[in-house]
Structure formats: structure tokens, C-alpha cells
Structure 1
Amino acid sequence: MQQAKPSFSFWFTLSLLQFQHQVTGIKVVDGDVNVTMGEDAVLQCKLTDTSDEVTQITWQRKNSAHEDNFLIYESESGAKPLNEFGKRVQFIGDGDKNANIILQNTILSDEGGYVCIFTVFPSGPYSTDIQLTVRVTPVIKVFTEDPPEVGSGESTVATCIAACGKPAATITWKTSLAEQRIENNSFLHENGTTTTQSQLLAIPVKSMHQQEVFCIVEHPTLKHPEIISHKLNIYYSPSVDVRAAEKPPGSLLLQCEADANPPATYSWSKENQSLATSNKMNIERSGQYLLEMTPDINGLYFCESRNPYGTASGTIYLHISSSREQYGVLIAGIILILIALAVVLFFVWRQRGEQTGSVQFRRNRQDTGGTESDSMTQGRDQGREDVDSV
């Protein structure tokens, strides 16, 4: 039986398989790219494992239904942009096996798929897909939109917002509040960005006012967590302290101080009668009232402080004698008389002491002289007895 000879189609198929086997080692190396909006994005594309000639390099951008060529490179003419988008692209490859490009000053709409195509002779075109992700740094803000009032129950004491970030930011709080609660919400925008909002809730008390809390925001575009400090703003009604201080010459300053938030305004009255003044606005702002030292200064004075959350008042009673200067002179005279009397008594006592000392001295001398005479007499008598005995 005669053996059948292979047909032409068989040899063609065999040759094609051999050719495909020779080019299967050729590949295009790429890598997906993440970039922060506003920065430059480097899209890498390299052809490997072939010595065939590259005749053309084409870059495409994927849209919803098709690909748009935006840049082409040919060895004779170099890189050429094909549309407005291509004008933002810089070709930085060598035009042979390297087709890297830089997309400058990226914007959010640059995100998407890109195609890098090598046209190789004689083996044909080779391509790869690259995904570009554009990240957006959120705008961070901490505030107290509506300051809560003491006694109002659980309220939002601070709000932290990381607006229009991509991807969504993560928000946490660091505080020294005894009790607190946190509520987080996220809102996705049409352009793909997300706003994250975190509310710090607590029961407001007076001691919280001006207390510092910290909002901590984490996001892939931030090298380190963003920490924003915020001082709490708590509203409360006034409490009053009233005092007086003498301001020479001949005046007295009444001072009314209120601890209040928002700041209080002040008014002064005397025994339920408003005090006339030419500087009313200054009194309302500072709480200070200056009085002249006149005979009618005495009486009961009232200070009232007020803010939208309450009213507080304080009193001070003034009684200044009109003859207090005379009393001062009289007291000074009495003190001087007492001092003079003490000096006189001191000298009298000293003189008497000296006289007493002189009398005692004379008496001592007389006693001493008598003693000496007796001794001498006894000596003479003893001498006579000695002579007689001899």
C-alpha cells in the first residue's frame, strides 16, 4: 500500500506552529501606576526577549467603548502627539525596546486604562494594558459648627471633615474627655472622590471649654497621619466677681468680672438707680466703673452681667467717712505723744539709776576705809606685844 504524502496545508500549519513557538518568548513588561493628583505619572512599557526590529510604538487610551490613539513613535520621525491629550505626554523611551512616557500634572479624569503597542517586524504587534489610578489628597477641616450649651445633653462638640479624598480617608480622635462617642459618615461624589465626616459627641460641661482635642486623618497620599488640634467651644451663663480698688487721686474703681462664654456685657446701678456715665460702651465691655470720692459716694452698688445664656449679678457696699483724714491726723498725733512720753520716761529711769550707783559707791569706800584702820591698829598692838615679850 502506497503511503500518502503530506498535503500543502499540513506543511503550512506546521510552519506556522514553529513560527509561533519561536516568538512566544517575546513579551511586554509593564506595571500599574498610582499617582497623586497634580504629580507626574510615569507609565512604563518595555519589549523583551526579541531581536526583531521595532517599526512603530503606539500609545492608546481606553474609553468606554473604544481606544483612542494619543501618541505614536517612529524611528524616522520620533514621537508625535495625535491629540490635545497627547500634548501633555512626554516620550522618554529609547524608541527601540523602551516606550516609557510621562503624563504631566495629572488630573482626576486621567485615571483609567492605557495600552502600549509595539509593532515588530516580521513577528507582528505586541501590546499590554496599564491601569493608572489617580489618588486625591483630602481637604481637612476641624470645627465646632454650633457650640453646645452647658446642660443641653449629649451634643456634637467638634466635627472633623476630610473632604473630596480618593480613596476615602480614615478619621480617629484623641481626647482626654471622660465620656465621648464618635459618629462617622461618608459621602461619595460623582467624580469618584469621597468626603468622610467624623463627629465627636459628649455631654457639655463648663470645664470642657477651651479643652484641646485632636483629629487624626490617615490617607494613602499622606506620608504621615495628619493631626489637627482643636479647642472646644462650650457656651455657659455668667458668674460674677465684684471688688473695689482705690485709684488716687480721690477716686475709686469698681471692677465687675464675669466668667462667661460668649463674653458678657455689664451694667452698674446704685440702690436700683442706673448710674449716669459718659462712657457707657466702655462699661458694658469692661465692667469697670470709676467713682469720684464725694460725700454721696456711700451706698449699695449692683453689677449685672448678661449673655444669651443667662444673667448674674453682684453687689458691693461702700461706706467712706468724710472725716477720715482728721481721724488719721489725730491718730498720728497720739502716736507721737506716746513716743515722746516713752523717751522722757527712759531718761528719768536712766538718771535715777546713775544716782543710786553713786551713793552705793561712796558707801563702799567708807566701809573699806574702816576695815583698813582696824587692821593697822591690830598690827601695832601685835608689835607691842612682841616687844614686851622680848
Structure 2
Amino acid sequence: MNRVVVSSWPFFVLLIVNTGMRTNTLKVIGGKRTVILGEDADLFCRLSEAEEFDQITWQKETRENSNKHNFFVIKPDGTTSNVNGLIGRVLFIGNTSDYLGSIRIRNVTLLDEGTYTCIFSISSGPIQTEMSLSVIVPPVMSVTGHVSPVGDNEVVLVTCIAAAAKPKAEVIWDTGALNKSLRWVTNSTQHANGTSTVLSQLIGLPTRTANQKQVQCVVNQSALEEERTLSYTIDIHYPPQIVNIKASPQAKYFLCVVDGNPRPNYIWSRDVQPWPGSSVRADGDTLHLLSLSSDLNGLYVCEASNLYGSTTGSLYIHITSEISPACWVLLFVILCLIVAAAIFLWSWYKYGKLPCSVASSPEQTSQDMIEVPIRQTEKTTGDEEAES
């Protein structure tokens, strides 16, 4: 009898030790989660070893309610029940056969952020694990310019805002060629819901050199897949500068070129003389010559103006009549006729005949020269007889 009792004692001790070792190795596995506002959060929960359980209970301690309380229960057959809110937003995505009690919280809000506890109720008592759920919020970004006139004092040129972000966004500037002439000041504001707004202002002298230069606001934050860049072109206002009037290749129109911001308004006028009616058309910064005649000759003035001042430039137009190719041909023909007439007259005057007449033979010339005196002799004899 004693032998039996003695032999059973080590077995009883061994049984207790083995049971205790198994209880110590059994645990619930989970993990913290970080999600972006509005996304779904999957909370993982599983027993490390196979073990029968009575139910799986989820508890939470969040911004909405800082007291830990039950909100979801899972039975071994997979049936679920909601308690204390989140109805319709919690989904069981685990598998009780695999001792997996994972859940999904849909459309996460900032109020869902906090600590979640997954509890397996087994015969030896409840075992659990805690996990944190963090919600991050991407910033709402904007860049705004401040229109400034040219001046000698520093002003805020551009403002960049990364609003309602969690965690706080980092804002820097890429000023390119203006790196040495601009600086920035950044401030942040913490909100009650855990988000922050960062406001960064770009400051510098409002000069013509800075006008139309591009700067970039660069925003970094953990909820963004990559850094975001917001570009802005600096806008500095100043009066119109020197007027430069340029002619088109055929001088059929003239362009009044002036540097000014905002863009100047243009007025064309004619100095002293009246405007030449429909022969000229002024269209903004352009003067069109609709017909080319000496009636357009005169001094034309271009006046450019904006809110900050005005300036003028002048153009003198002088148009001379040009001889067309047909006129040159006609003039050449007339000159040829004049030369030909002169040759004919000279020939008639010197030779008594046209230069194109047929030349007479020597015999005919001698005969004509003899006949004249004979006729004159006969006429003389007749006269003598009459006188007798």
C-alpha cells in the first residue's frame, strides 16, 4: 500500500508541473496598427497554441471613451455580438477553428485611436494581449501669394499652409535663384483632436528681379506616400518702364513693347495732326497701317499705363511713293522713243534724209548736179530773149 502511494506521488507532482508549464507558454499574439484616417484597421489576435475557449472578448480604451470597456464578443461557433457602440463598423475577419480572433474596424476616425485588448476565455482563466491603434491624418495643403508693389521694406510674398495633420507636417521652401534674398518663418498650432496646422511664410524685398520667379513649398508627413511640392510664381507690381516700339518685317504694323505689372493699357495718338481716319487702326499695343500713303506721315505716340504709373514712346512715320515695275518699263520705253526721235531729227538736219533711206549711186548724184545748172541756164536764156 505504501509502495503504491509512494509511486503515485511523483506522478502527481509531474502532472502539476507539466500543466503549469503549458499554461505559461500559452499566450495571445497581437500587434499595433497605424492607419490613415478613413481607412479600415485590421487588428490581429490569435492564440499561440490550440486550446478550447469559451469566447473571445474585445475591449477598447480610446479618445471617445477613456474607460476600458467591452465592445465586441466572438463565440466558438463564429457568431458575434456588438456592445457599447461601433455597431456596423466592426467585422470579424478571423477563424475560430484556427483560434484566430482578428477584427476589422471600418472607416477609422480620430476617436477610434487608443488601446485595444483581445481576451481569450479558457478553462484556466482569461489570457489577453493589448495593442495600440494609431490614426494618422494627411495635411490639407495650400499656397497663397500676396501681391505687393515694388518697395524697400520686406513683406510676406507667399504663405504655405499644411493644415489639420497628424502628426505635424514638416514645411520647407525651395527658392531657387532667390535663395540668398528670401527667408521664411514657420509656426504651428496644436488642435484639440490631436492634429496640427503648420503655417510658413516666405519673406523678402518686393523687387522687379523677384517678379515672376517661381518658388516651391515642400511638405513632408508620414501620411503622405511622398513629399508634396506646391509651386507659386511671385507677383510683384510696378509701373510701366521704357517704351520700345518695334516694326514688323514689312512695316505694316508697329508693336509697343513695355515692361509693367500688371500688364499696361495702351493708347495710340497722333501728335499735332488729326488721326488719319480708316487708314490706321490701333489695337491695344499694336498700330496697324491699313494703307501706305504720304497721308500717314507724322509723329505717333504710344502711352502705356497701369495702376502704378504711365510712360510714353513715339514713332515717326514717313512714307514715300514707290515706282512699280510696270512704271519702270514704261519709263524705259519712253526714253527709247525719245532717243530714237533725236537720232531721226539729227539725221534729217544733217543729211536731208532719214538714216534708214537707201543711199544713191555716184552716177545719179552727178547727173542731178548737172541738171540743175542746165535748167537754170535755159531759164536765163529765155529771159534774155524776152528782154530782146
Task: Give the structure-1-normalised TM-score.
Answer: 0.69
Residues 77 and 96 in structure 2, CA contact (< 8 A), matched pair in contact too: no
Deviates further, 213-222 or 92-101? 92-101
Residues 268 and 274 in structure 1, CA contact (< 8 A), matched pair in contact too: no
Structure-2 residue corresponding to 1:220: 222
1:190 is the counterpart of 2:192: yes
- CA deviation map 1:320-346 (0-9, x unaligned): 35xx34x789x958x969x99xxxxxx
Local SS of the residue matching 1:208: coil
Q: Structure 1 residues 277 and 133, CA, compared in 2 at 3 Å: closer, same or farther?
A: farther
Local SS of the residue matching 2:88: helix
Give me the whole-angstrom Cα distance separating, in 1, the residues matched to 2:201 and 2:230.
14
Give me the whole-angstrom Cα distance separating, in 2, the residues matched to 1:37 and 1:178.
36
- Displacement of 1:290: 4.5
Structure 1: runs of 5 or more not aligned? 1-15, 341-390
Local SS of the residue matching 1:134: strand
- Displacement of 1:73: 0.5
Superposition map of 1:46-85 within 5 A: 46-48=46-48, 52-63=51-62, 64-76=65-77, 78-82=79-83, 85=86
One-letter code of the match for 2:55? Q
1:43 is the counterpart of 2:43: yes
Superposition map of 1:104-119 within 5 A: 104-119=106-121
Structure-2 residue corresponding to 1:234: 236
Structure-2 residue corresponding to 1:170: 170
Give me the whole-angstrom Cα distance separating, in 2, the residues matched to 1:225 and 1:66.
38
Local SS of the residue matching 1:109: helix
Q: Structure 1 residues 200 and 22, CA, compared in 2 at 3 Å: closer, same or farther?
A: same
- Displacement of 1:305: 0.8
Structure 2: runs of 5 or more not aligned? 1-15, 337-388
Q: Structure 1 residues 77 and 171, CA, compared in 2 at 3 Å: closer, same or farther?
A: closer
Q: How many residues align?
A: 316
Structure-2 residue corresponding to 1:305: 304
Local SS of the residue matching 2:258: strand
Give me the whole-angstrom Cα distance separating, in 1, the residues matched to 2:27 and 2:207.
68
Give me the whole-angstrom Cα distance separating, in 1, the residues matched to 2:300 and 2:81.
89
Give me the whole-angstrom Cα distance separating, in 2, the residues matched to 1:84 and 1:229.
45
Superposition map of 1:351-390 within 5 A: none
Residues 268 and 289 in structure 1, CA contact (< 8 A), matched pair in contact too: no
- CA deviation map 1:43-62 (0-9, x unaligned): 1122335x542110011222
Cα-Cα RMSD = 3.8
Residues 38 and 106 in structure 1, CA contact (< 8 A), matched pair in contact too: yes
Task: Give the structure-2-normalised TM-score.
Answer: 0.69
One-letter code of the match for 2:160? C
1:253 is the counterpart of 2:256: no
- Displacement of 1:311: 1.3
Structure-1 residue corresponding to 2:122: 120
Residues 71 and 86 in structure 1, CA contact (< 8 A), matched pair in contact too: no
- Displacement of 1:112: 1.7
Structure-1 residue corresponding to 2:28: 28
Give me the whole-angstrom Cα distance separating, in 1, the residues matched to 2:29 and 2:78.
25
- CA deviation map 1:265-313 (0-9, x unaligned): 11122226885989xxx95744435465455433222211111222121
Q: Structure 1 residues 128 and 271, CA, compared in 2 at 3 Å: closer, same or farther?
A: same
Q: Structure 1 residues 277 and 222, CA, compared in 2 at 3 Å: closer, same or farther?
A: farther
Local SS of the residue matching 2:138: coil
Q: Structure 1 residues 224 and 77, CA, compared in 2 at 3 Å: closer, same or farther?
A: closer
